[in-house]
Amino acid sequence: MARTKEFNEDQALDKAIEIFWHKGYNGTSAQDLVNHLGLSRSSLYDTFGDKQKLFVKSLKRYQKQNLDSLNELFENAENIKTALTEIFKQAVIESLQDRITKGCFMVNSAVELAMHDPEIAKIVHDNQKVVEDIFCAAVKKGQDLGQISDRQEARSLARFIFNNYSGIRVLARAGEKDKQVYDDILKSIFALF
Amino acid sequence: MARTKEFNEDQALDKAIEIFWHKGYNGTSAQDLVNHLGLSRSSLYDTFGDKQKLFVKSLKRYQKQNLDSLNELFENAENIKTALTEIFKQAVIESLQDRITKGCFMVNSAVELAMHDPEIAKIVHDNQKVVEDIFCAAVKKGQDLGQISDRQEARSLARFIFNNYSGIRVLARAGEKDKQVYDDILKSIFALF
DNA sequence: AAAAATACGGAACAATCGTTCCTGAATTAG
DNA sequence: CTAATTCAGGAACGATTGTTCCGTATTTTT
């Protein structure tokens, strides 16, 4: 008996990801959301509750999207070391080409909010754990296949990779546009494998 | 013929650093500043102009303090590799012991503001350049003294070090309290030297 | 002592914040 | 058609935002 929803909730969430990613939580106003999502104030609050709930939902969706593509990458990878370089090279490409560089939504949120919002802190921490596990499994596989040096323990390498990924995303967020800087970092990172 | 200032401007700036570091720019209200600095609203605005100017002054002071201690560390260092490990170990100690972990004020500011405030972007970028140069000079010296492997170029290693330092500070800001995580990262980093 | 200058606390500002509510139009199912 | 539900738009909410201003107290210099 009801009118059907005219907007796609997931599409709206994708829009929310965009603007929260770009401006941060505190930097995004309710008016920004109305403008960017194309929803009315009322629809927005009826659908998502409030700003914090919308943010959490956006961040979780972003996380899922990234984890999915990360898993897919490693599943289809013949060479693990190549796959790892692809991840970093992709991050570099995004950092250089984005006219407005947004870095990583998860990293940005961790820095801005993890200390002050326990719910965000949990998401960030879970994400770290899961990504680390994915890296760790991949490294192990790579070591078994003789594609990655086993002079370092897989867990240790995984954490190291995660750390450098965060660093590069911060660099991007800070607006670094010199490809050589990224390439130098990558060169050092992969000297370890 | 004038009354003298009753508060120390530098001490007030140190207080401002504390609260901006903890809560971020957008997360810190004028009332927060009044409460934490112990100044009246009027004195605060008379002395520092406005919130943005106060933030810029705070960040610059923080930068100077850090650069000074960084330079001092390397000047007095007999062994460069040891000095580098000290820097990271110190960051880890701070990350673990701080009941409320604040990460690095410069990294936090880069993530929150560099995209949206050109003045902050310039500070962040300058800082990156200067720190990178300090690291680079130190690495070169270390390589000359045979304390650091010269399989990697100094500039590349310097950027790599900077990147990992950023990463660790993000990890701290995200609330990571597991020492093993940091130690694993450090182990990988210094396997390269 | 008089005059000049500054710090102070607090009132007050307009603007914006996130949020709620109301109205009327649109669309669906029975 | 009727009833039910959701839409959009905008008015309005109280709270908080960053900022300004004023009156008074305090201190310094002449």
Q: What is the mean pLDDT of residues B145-165?
A: 97
Q: What is the mean pLDDT of residues A122-145?
A: 97
Predicted pLDDT of residue A99: 80
Contact A156, B188 (CB under 8 A): yes
Are A125 and B163 in contact (CB < 8 Å)?
no
Predicted pLDDT of residue A22: 96
Candidates B68, B121, B98, B175; CA nearest to A128 is B175
Are B188 and A160 in contact (CB < 8 Å)?
yes
Q: What is the mean pLDDT of residues A103-113?
A: 97
Mean pLDDT of chain B: 94
Contact A36, A9 (CB under 8 A): no
A118 touches strand D (CB under 7 A): no
Interface test with A, best of B28, B184, B189 (most A CBs within 10 A): B184
Contact A74, A68 (CB under 8 A): no
Residue A155 has pLDDT above 70, yes or no: yes
Pick from A124, A170, A184: CB nearest B160: A184
Interface test with A, best of B115, B157, B171, B190 (most A CBs within 10 A): B115
Instruction: Kindly list the structural domains of chain B, giving each domain's residue range(s) and its CATH number in brackets, ordered by start.
Output: 57-190 (1.10.357.10)
Are A159 and B23 in contact (CB < 8 Å)?
no
- Tens digits of per-residue pLDDT, B15-26? 999 999 999 999
In the block, residue with structure tokens 């030297």: B193
Question: Where residue A8 falls among pLDDT bands split at 50, 70, 90?
Answer: confident
Distance CA B187, CA A66 (A): 27
Q: What is the mean pLDDT of residues A96-108?
A: 90
- Tens digits of per-residue pLDDT, B92-102? 999 999 788 89
- Tens digits of per-residue pLDDT, B172-191? 999 999 999 999 999 999 99
Predicted pLDDT of residue B2: 59
Predicted pLDDT of residue B172: 96
Q: Which residue of A has its CA nearest to B177?
A: A125
Residue A163 has pLDDT above 60, yes or no: yes
Task: List the B57 CA – C3 C1' distance (angstroms).
Answer: 35
